Each structure stands twice: as C-alpha cells, then as structure tokens.
Amino acid sequence: MDRIITIGRCQWRAFWRRFSRSGHLNAGNQGILLIASVLILARYLQALRIAARDLPQGKSRVLESLLMVIFLAWMFPLASNARTSISIRKLLHLPLTLKELFGIRLITLLIPPYAWVILVGSLAICYPIIRSQNPVAGVTAVLLFIVFSALIGLTVAHLLSIGFWRKLFFVALVLSGLVISNLLQRGLGKNMLSLLSSLPTSLVAHAALGPRSWVVVCELALLMTLTLLTALWSFKKSLAVTPKRRSQRMMIFNSFRIPGSIGGLAIKDFRYFRRLLDPYLGVLAAALGSFYLITADLASAGLFQVFLLGVFVLNAATAFNSFGLDNRAIMDRLKLMPVTGRTILLSKNLAFLMIVGVQVTPLILLGSWRLGLPIGVVGIVEAASLAAMYMAWGNWMSVNYPFKMRFFQFSSSNGPVLEAIAGIIFGSLPGVIAIYYLQTEGLKAAWKIALLLLCSSFFYFVSVWQMGARFARKQDRILNALS
C-alpha cells in the first residue's frame, strides 16, 4: 500500500507540473469554460430540486435521467484520457503486481480537476434520494452505481487501446444507432421505454422507492463486483505490449496516389487521422443519415443537409489540429524534406478531404437517388463549401494553436476551446446558409449556394497562402507543443 501511495503522490506532482506548463488554458478558454460550467451547474441543481420534489410522490423519471447523465459523465472523460494509461505503462519495469498497478490506475483517476467536478456532481444526487421512502438503501444503491459507472468508463478506456475491441465498439455503436433510429421512425418508443426499465438506473430508483430495496442493493453490489473484475481484466489486456506493424490496408490508396511529395504526406496523414476516434463519430452520423435516406417514406432535403453538416462538425478535430498526431521525428523530417509550408498544409487538407469524402459520398449518392439529382448537386456544392471553410479555419488553428493528440483517443480537451467553437461556427456557415436558402427559395437559390462555394474557396486559398508562409516561422513552436 505504501508503494501505491508513493507512486500516486508522484503522479499527482507530475500532472500539476505538466498542467502548469501546458499554457493551453488561456483567458478566453477560462472564460468560456466558466460560463459553460455555471450554466451546466445551474441546470443540474434545478434538476436535483425537481427530483427531490418528485421522489416522495413515487416519480423517478428525473432521477433516472440524472443517473444516466452521471453514467455518461464518467464514461467519456475516462475514454478520452490517454496520459494516465501511458504513465502506467512506464511503471511496468518496477516490481509491482497487477493489482498494485490497477490501484495506481484508480488513484490517478481522481487527479485531474474534471474528475473532482464529476465526483462532486455524482455525490450531489444523494440529496433527492435522502427524501425518498428508503433513504439508506437509496444512498447505498447510488454509491454503488457511481462506482459501477466509473468502472465501466475505465473498462472502455482500457479496451479502446486494443484494435479488436475498437472495431467491436464501433460496430455496436452503429448497430445500436440504426436500431434506435428504426424504432423512433416506426413510432415504437414504448419498446425503448421498456428496455430502459431494466437498466441500472432503474435499479437505483427501485432501491429508493420499492418494497424490496435491499434485494436491489445486493443486485447492484453484484453488478459492481462483476464490473470490477471486468475492469481488472481489461486493464491487464491493455498492458500487453504488441509489436507495431505498418498497416497494409491502405494499398488501395497507393493505386490512386497523387504524384509528388503531397501524395505521400497525404497518405501518411490519412493513416494518422483514421486512428483518431473523432472521425468515427462522423462515420456514425453518415451511417444514420444513409439509413434515414434508405428507409424514410418521404425523405427530407433539410435533414439530408443537416446530416452533411453533422459529418463536418464531428470531423472538425482533424482540420483544426492537423499537426496534433505528429511527433518530433516527423517534424524533424519535414524540416529536411524539400517541401514548403504550403505543400505541408495542402497534404494535411487532402487527408482531411479523404476522411470526410469517404463519409459524405454515400450520403450524396443516396440523396441524389431519393431526392433527385439537383439536390445531390446542391449537396456536393454544400459539402465542398463546408470543407473549404473548415480547412481555412483549421490551417490558421493548426499553425497558431497546436496541441498534442493521441492515437485511438478522442481529441484532447486541453486545446483552445474558444477558438474551436468559433471555428465550428465559422466553418458551418455555408451549410447553415445553404439549408436556409433551400428551405425558403428551393432550387431557385442554387446560384446563391454556388456563390457560397466561391467565397469559401477564396477564404481557403488565402489561408493556405498566409499560413503556409507562417509555418516556417512557427515550426519550432509547433514542435514544442507536440513534445
């Protein structure tokens, strides 16, 4: 136990030393994070008061919704945190057992500030449960549920480092999205409600309100124990070091390779971008949009455009931080290569186009089939305008505000938040304007949508010209940010 505490103390110091030197949380980010935190806290406290009012009356809908929010809050930050798993790997050379390493992993979960916020918000759910019919059993059940949620998030974080489980999670996510979309489209929402009644959130509500409360508490304890064993198993699997092999599945792109240095760099960047988890959310949006266009009795052109816009929003990380997956060796090689900054940015932009192109192509083809060829052409113009605007803002951000990202993780939350939100608004303008024109004027506004493409292209070429020239001056700063 002493070894675990000593190493945990060192992890604490290392995290805060790295946090104080990161320099990512500028004044703008602090302001927007403070505003967002206050708004979320106010809404959460309001929901807690409603749950405290409803529980004595036997109503648990608000409580179960809050428990689901807590579950997701423990899920996503843990699944996107890569630094902790990397630091644990560095301890493998020490004479520590698997359980000791797992204990260190659990301690390090509470080091980041967001973990404190999530923990305090999770414990605040005890306030409405105290007013329920079975307060002691309810509080015990909710504490078990919090531990269960954290262990589920930990298990997902471990398994995301394994290729097979990443593919399995993605397939399960797509299939569940298609099933839910089909149920909603067929008006079978009651079936979904019956499924929700068997979730652990309902067990907490039964423990607080039901007659057999301690039986439900025992069920939650058993579920938490099984989750603990699963988290320990996944932790062991994630520590298994496998030799890295270069993927040969990209040979299809070599057949269509662009001559010159741009093509080779673009293939490298495409291979890197597809190892980030954010683009797979775009794939999910494209799959749901394709499913809608195939199964809808009367497809909507507005929803078709919304799905196109959603794909670009979910892939924004690859455009806004195109150097984030590079390392010192790659940046040093770029210095030695006979390429200009504009060529490097063009290769990054080409890789981004390949990522989003694979996702929007099925949407555009299905949109042309269901909505007509003119709508399909409008979709192509809208997608090109969105790509140009996102790449224009992304070139500026990639050169001026780079930050380190990790393979097989979501994009880091340490980046410039205010600039990223402004970039999403700026990049989405062509899509929003195109949706407005198509809904108000129909195909008569096609020339206005085409004019959007010209304006977006102008912004893009200006960004390549200016940021490409600035890249040489900022290269050392980018290198320091990625180290």
d(CA 267, CA 257): 8
User: Cα torsion for 78, 82, 85, 88, to the nearest 10°?
Assistant: -130
pLDDT score, position 243: 46
The mean pLDDT of 339-358, rounded to a whole number, is 91
CB 102 within 8 A of CB 178: no
Q: In terms of pLDDT, which residue wins out, 93 or 287?
A: 287
Report whether pLDDT(42) > 60.
Answer: yes
pLDDT above 70 as % of the chain = 81
Q: Are residues 129 and 256 in the same domain?
A: no
Q: What is the mean pLDDT of the chain?
A: 80
pLDDT score, position 462: 93
Domain that holds residue 333: 251-482
Instruction: Using alpha carbons only, give the angle 366, 371, 374 rounded to the nearest 5 degrees.
Output: 100
Q: Are residues 208 and 347 in the same domain?
A: no
> 342 lies in a domain?
yes
> 177 lies in a domain?
no
Q: Are residues 279 and 221 in the same domain?
A: no
Report whether pLDDT(241) > 60.
Answer: no
Q: Are residues 293 and 340 in the same domain?
A: yes
> 33 lies in a domain?
yes
Q: Are residues 217 and 305 in the same domain?
A: no
pLDDT score, position 31: 46
Q: pLDDT tens for residues 118-174? A: 888 888 888 888 888 888 988 999 999 999 988 888 888 888 777 777 778 778 877
CB 285 within 8 A of CB 311: yes
Last residue of a domain, one of 211, 239, 267: 239
The mean pLDDT of 442-446, rounded to a whole number, is 81
> 221 lies in a domain?
yes
Q: Are residues 206 and 59 in the same domain?
A: yes
Give the model's confidence band at 454: pLDDT under 50 very low, under 70 low, under 90 confident, else very high: very high
pLDDT score, position 57: 84
Distance of CA 407 to the CA centre of its chain: 13
d(CA 392, CA 309): 16
Last residue of a domain, one of 214, 239, 264: 239
pLDDT score, position 26: 45
d(CA 12, CA 330): 31
Q: pLDDT tens for residues 163-222? A: 777 778 778 877 776 676 666 666 554 555 555 556 788 888 888 887 888 888 898 899
> 179 lies in a domain?
no
Cα 195 to Cα 192, 201, 212, 226: the distances in Å are 5, 12, 21, 21
Least confident of 30-44, 263-277, 428-442: 30-44
CB 132 within 8 A of CB 138: yes
Q: What are the phi and psi torsion angles at 299 (to 5°)? A: -70, 145
Q: Are residues 262 and 290 in the same domain?
A: yes
Q: Are residues 300 and 418 in the same domain?
A: yes
Q: Are residues 391 and 256 in the same domain?
A: yes
Nearest to 15 by CA among 159, 115, 154, 95: 115
> 244 lies in a domain?
no
Q: Are residues 291 and 393 in the same domain?
A: yes
The mean pLDDT of 296-316, rounded to a whole number, is 89
The mean pLDDT of 111-119, rounded to a whole number, is 78
Q: Is 247 helix (H, G, I), strand (E, B) or coil?
A: coil
The mean pLDDT of 462-476, rounded to a whole number, is 87
Give the model's confidence band at 24: pLDDT under 50 very low, under 70 low, under 90 confident, else very high: very low
Number of domains in the chain: 2
Q: What are the phi and psi torsion angles at 325 (to 5°)? A: -95, 0
Last residue of a domain, one of 181, 208, 239: 239
pLDDT score, position 472: 80
Give the model's confidence band at 250: pLDDT under 50 very low, under 70 low, under 90 confident, else very high: very low
Q: pLDDT tens for residues 120-134? A: 888 888 888 888 888
> 396 lies in a domain?
yes
Q: Are residues 394 and 282 in the same domain?
A: yes
> 272 lies in a domain?
yes
pLDDT score, position 258: 64
Q: pLDDT tens for residues 49-99? A: 888 888 888 888 888 888 888 888 887 655 555 455 556 766 777 777 888
Q: Are residues 210 and 125 in the same domain?
A: yes
Q: Number of C-alpha atoms within 13 angstroms, CB side, residue 166?
A: 17
pLDDT score, position 30: 45
Report whether pLDDT(332) > 70.
Answer: yes
Distance of CA 375 to the CA centre of its chain: 30
